[in-house]
Chains A and B, each alone.
Chain A
Amino acid sequence: MFTRKSIGVALLVVLSAGFAQAAGPGLGQPIATSDIAAWDTSIMPDGSGLPAGRGTAAQGAQIFAGKCVACHGENGVGGSASALTAKGPITSINGGEKTIGNFWPYASTLFDFIRRAMPWQQPKSLTNDEVYALTAYLLALNKVIDDNTALDAATLAKIKMPNRDGFIIRFPDRI
């Protein structure tokens, strides 16, 4: 026979178990990390997330001529899309276009953005090797790396962009 006290304890156990499950509707479906891989293409500024693969500026130049030049122009200037190189650093508010060499703070952004968004009409159609090659081509065009540097996960992560320290966080207290 249960004592009043033991019934009380049993009820508490049941209630707390019930609360644990009732925190929310619980309608999300679990998913394995490997099953998120096709979407999880974010590259972090320290290079984490960079996939296997390799490419050179020479290979990138060929891909650029076939898939990018129509919008970005010869040597990345003069097209309908944003210019990809500039003559010098930005020194004022009238500094002209922000380009890879004179503005972008991280090389990882180049890989991430090309892979997810380019070419504009067929995004996500490039292989990882092609993305490394285009990244190498654009960084060489901007004199950030020399023409012979092959890019892969290790070499890309080590690149320091010229304007890396050109930014002021506007609202640090909100981070």
Chain B
Amino acid sequence: MKRTPAANRGDNLTPVAGNGLLDRRSFLRGGAAIAATMGYTLVNNAAAEPLADDPWSLTPGAVTKPYEQRSRYEEKVARTLTNPKGETRVQNARTPLHRLNGVITPAGQHFVVAQSGAPDIDPAKHRIVIHGLVKRPLVFTLDALARYPMVTRTHFLECGGNSAPLFSPTPMQANLQALHGLVSCAEWTGVLLSTLLEETGIDPKAKWLIAEGADAPTLTRSVPLKKGLDDAMIALYQNGERLMPANGYPARLLLPGWEGNMNIKWLRRIKLTDAPAMTFPETKTYTQLLPDGKALQFYFIEEVKSFITQPSPDLKMSGPGFYEISGLAFSGDGKIAKVMVSADGGKSWAQAALQEPVLDKSFTRFRLPWRWDGGPAILQSRAWDDKGNVQPTRAEFVAKRGELKAPLSLVAFPNQHFNAITSWGITADGEVKHVYA
């Protein structure tokens, strides 16, 4: 939808922070009434063309299909791939977050990191075994799991390597999808792992579980049993449908808020142990170098983070006037408590409205009305969660975690778990660029 320039529209609304940020309640119920009583200034736009029936209003439409497809006008809204030919290396698909809205990522747009492609699993033959330090090792078929009590929960899932381009010493020029596209959010339905562990029983010596996929490299990760008993789920459904193959069909481990790679797809085995297995992904791939050459390990939590989705690079501004700044905030440690937005590079801040319901370890959509005066602006968002965690500024983050000497490729993973503030610079001609501020 083309935004109508309306330079005067917000004139009766008082800015609450620099560069034209308006009160978050301006257009909410109640706020709208205030705006109405204050009265809008009439907009000076060119008159619209006379209305006439379009061709699609003069003939019957398309036949309804068994499985609906998007409008052909939306086909370009798609994930970007790093390995479309399936060469012998990891395959990444990044979510077009800047062209979506709300908080649910459609299953076909959900990000994917697949080490060795998606296996073609026959659900009738798939088995999940739970063994190790349990009282009774048990095997579950999908038919059996379908009879267990299920839960439905909305959770984001983020690759530990998401946002890696921001370790570059200079802002890499790319859109939101390229910079932060390895995070998505879905409604997951499945059986809590704790429900199944009640039946196997747990040996008191058990402290960890090793989860294994049925893919070619049978990828394995060690997970503290505490998390397994807290909110871990064997997810069977994604947004109401069975999981997508690349997201783990027919069953995946879901560890809400924790590093994507640990959420083992194509789950076939859970072994309770007294120690971590120190597998390849948890000792090499998903360890994070520090400035002194030591490395962080078991960086379980995807920490509190936010970014503005609209406007953002590739979404050119269409003239001065009213815009709604919109973005996503999430924390792997709880619920989003607050999001602040700046339009002047962090000099002043206004509190954004949070879309209800605000859910635990889920995307939270934030919004804030903005009257752009057509001059340069730097947009930022900063999130807080209900555990007191605060999204760091880039300077704070770099002071602890360091940055690279030189930029790498946009699809490289020089480091992981970047969660600092992202800045979008708006130029006077309406371009939106990635900047550091």
Binding site for B on A (CB under 8 A): 23-33, 36, 39-46, 71, 80-81, 89-95, 98, 103-106, 108-109, 112-113, 116-117, 120-121, 123-124, 166-172, 174-175
User: Within the assembled complex, what's the spacing in Å between the Cα atoms of A123 and B292?
Assistant: 36
Least Cβ distance of B2 to chain A in Å? 44
Residue in A closest to B225 when the chains form the complex, CB atoms: A175
Set A42, A103, A117: member contacting B217, Cβ < 8 A: A117
Q: Is the CB of A33 within 8 A of B289?
A: no
Residue in B closest to A26 when the chains form the complex, CB atoms: B199
12 CB-based A-B contacts, threshold 8 Å: A41-B218, A42-B273, A46-B275, A71-B88, A89-B293, A94-B405, A116-B220, A117-B216, A117-B219, A170-B298, A174-B224, A175-B226
For the complex of A and B, the 4 pairs showing the least CB-CB separation, nearest first, are: A28-B138, A117-B217, A27-B144, A113-B280
| Chain A residues, CB < 8 A from B144 | 25, 27-29
Q: Is the CB of B296 within 8 A of A28?
A: no
Least Cβ distance of A132 to chain B in Å? 17
Least Cβ distance of B36 to chain A in Å? 50
| Chain A residues, CB < 8 A from B271 | 40, 42
User: Within the assembled complex, what's the spacing in Å between the Cα atoms of A27 and B195?
Assistant: 12
Residue in B closest to A46 when the chains form the complex, CB atoms: B275
Q: Is the CB of B268 within 8 A of A29?
A: no
Residue in B closest to A89 when the chains form the complex, CB atoms: B293
Determine whether B365 belongs to the interface, using a CB cutoff of 8 Å to chain A.
no
Least Cβ distance of A33 to chain B in Å? 7
Set A23, A39, A123: member contacting B198, Cβ < 8 A: A23
User: Within the assembled complex, what's the spacing in Å between the Cα atoms of A67 and B404?
Assistant: 35
Stretch at the interface among B14-22, B129-137, B310-318, B322-330: B129-137
Residue in B closest to A71 when the chains form the complex, CB atoms: B88
Set B147, B280, B296: member contacting A170, Cβ < 8 A: B296
Least Cβ distance of B261 to chain A in Å? 14
Set A44, A109, A170, A171: member contacting B283, Cβ < 8 A: A109
| Chain A residues, CB < 8 A from B300 | 170-171, 174
Chain B interface size range? 35 or more
Least Cβ distance of A155 to chain B in Å? 18
Least Cβ distance of B263 to chain A in Å? 15
| Chain B residues, CB < 8 A from A31 | 129, 131, 137-139
| Chain B residues, CB < 8 A from A171 | 298-301
Q: Is the CB of B277 within 8 A of A166?
A: no
Determine whether B348 belongs to the interface, using a CB cutoff of 8 Å to chain A.
no
Q: Knowing that A80-B88, A117-B218, A174-B301 touch, tell me 4 more A-B residue pairs with CB under 8 angstroms.
A: A42-B220, A45-B277, A169-B296, A172-B298
Q: Is the CB of A36 within 8 A of B195?
A: no
Determine whether B12 belongs to the interface, using a CB cutoff of 8 Å to chain A.
no
Determine whether B297 belongs to the interface, using a CB cutoff of 8 Å to chain A.
yes
Contact pattern, B 183-209, Cβ under 8 Å of A = 1, otherwise 0:
000000000000110111000000110
Q: Is the CB of B147 within 8 A of A27?
A: yes
| Chain A residues, CB < 8 A from B167 | 93
| Chain B residues, CB < 8 A from A105 | 278, 283
Set A23, A32, A71, A167: member contacting B287, Cβ < 8 A: A167
| Chain B residues, CB < 8 A from A71 | 88
User: Within the assembled complex, what's the spacing in Å between the Cα atoms of A44 and B277?
Assistant: 5
Determine whether B89 belongs to the interface, using a CB cutoff of 8 Å to chain A.
yes
| Chain A residues, CB < 8 A from B401 | 93
Determine whether B227 belongs to the interface, using a CB cutoff of 8 Å to chain A.
yes
Least Cβ distance of B196 to chain A in Å? 7
Considering residues A27, A81, A98, which has the most beta carbons from chain B within 10 angstroms of its beta carbon?
A27
User: Within the assembled complex, what's the spacing in Å between the Cα atoms of A11 and B370?
Assistant: 69
| Chain A residues, CB < 8 A from B280 | 109, 112-113, 117
Determine whether B158 belongs to the interface, using a CB cutoff of 8 Å to chain A.
no
Contacts A31-B137, A71-B88 known; A109 to B297 CB distance under 8 Å? no
Q: For residues 135 through 151 of chain B, which have their beta carbon under 8 Å from a beta carbon of chain A?
A: 136-141, 144-145, 147-148
Q: Is the CB of A123 within 8 A of B217?
A: yes
User: Within the assembled complex, what's the spacing in Å between the Cα atoms of A92 and B290?
Assistant: 7
| Chain A residues, CB < 8 A from B415 | 93
| Chain A residues, CB < 8 A from B431 | none
| Chain B residues, CB < 8 A from A109 | 278-280, 283-284
Q: Is the CB of A169 within 8 A of B297?
A: yes
| Chain A residues, CB < 8 A from B279 | 42, 109, 112-113
Residue in A closest to B210 when the chains form the complex, CB atoms: A42
| Chain B residues, CB < 8 A from A167 | 287, 294-297
Q: Is the CB of A28 within 8 A of B139?
A: yes
Q: Is the CB of A108 within 8 A of B278?
A: yes
Determine whether B361 belongs to the interface, using a CB cutoff of 8 Å to chain A.
no
Residue in B closest to A166 when the chains form the complex, CB atoms: B294
Residue in B closest to A91 when the chains form the complex, CB atoms: B293
